[in-house]
């Protein structure tokens, strides 16, 4: 029962975020920060041809229980015209190295989760 509530709650949140992102884009300095973070971690597959807050497959993918490639944004800033990254979840991607110093370039980041 708890699992069902979590799934339904997640679907609701995604629908709300998708609605909020219509017309809103990620701040350009945060896009550059994500590029540097991806390079530092050896993260491949992020498609910077689409806005990281667009919910495009390269930014939100949880195809299995153990794998996650999620960048979550809050697009309620500046009358819903600007988005900011609030969460990054990268699981089961065999990333190596240290935490990128560019994380401090994401001032609204509230949660990060990296795991093997």
d(CA 99, CA 86): 17
Rg (CA), the chain: 14
Mean pLDDT of the chain: 80
* Residue range 32-41, pLDDT digits in tens: 999 999 888 8
CA 74 to chain centre: 10
**Which parts of 8-91 are beta strand (E)?**
25-26, 60-61, 68-77, 82-91
Q: Is the pTM of this model over 0.95?
A: no
**Which helix (H) or strand (E) segment is 3 a member of?**
helix 2-21
Q: Which domains does the chain have, with CATH numbers?
A: 2-115 (3.80.10)
């Amino acid at each position: 029962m708890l699992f069902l509530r979590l799934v339904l709650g997640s679907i609701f949140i995604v629908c709300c975020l998708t609605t909020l992102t219509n017309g809103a884009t990620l701040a350009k300095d945060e896009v550059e920060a994500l590029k540097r973070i991806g390079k530092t971690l050896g993260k491949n597959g992020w498609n910077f041809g689409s806005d990281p807050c667009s919910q495009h497959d390269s930014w939100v993918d949880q195809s299995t229980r153990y794998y996650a490639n999620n960048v979550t944004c809050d697009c309620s800033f500046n009358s819903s015209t600007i988005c900011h990254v609030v969460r990054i979840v990268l699981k089961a991607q065999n990333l190596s190295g240290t935490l990128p110093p560019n994380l401090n370039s994401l001032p609204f980041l509230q949660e990060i989760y990296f795991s093997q």
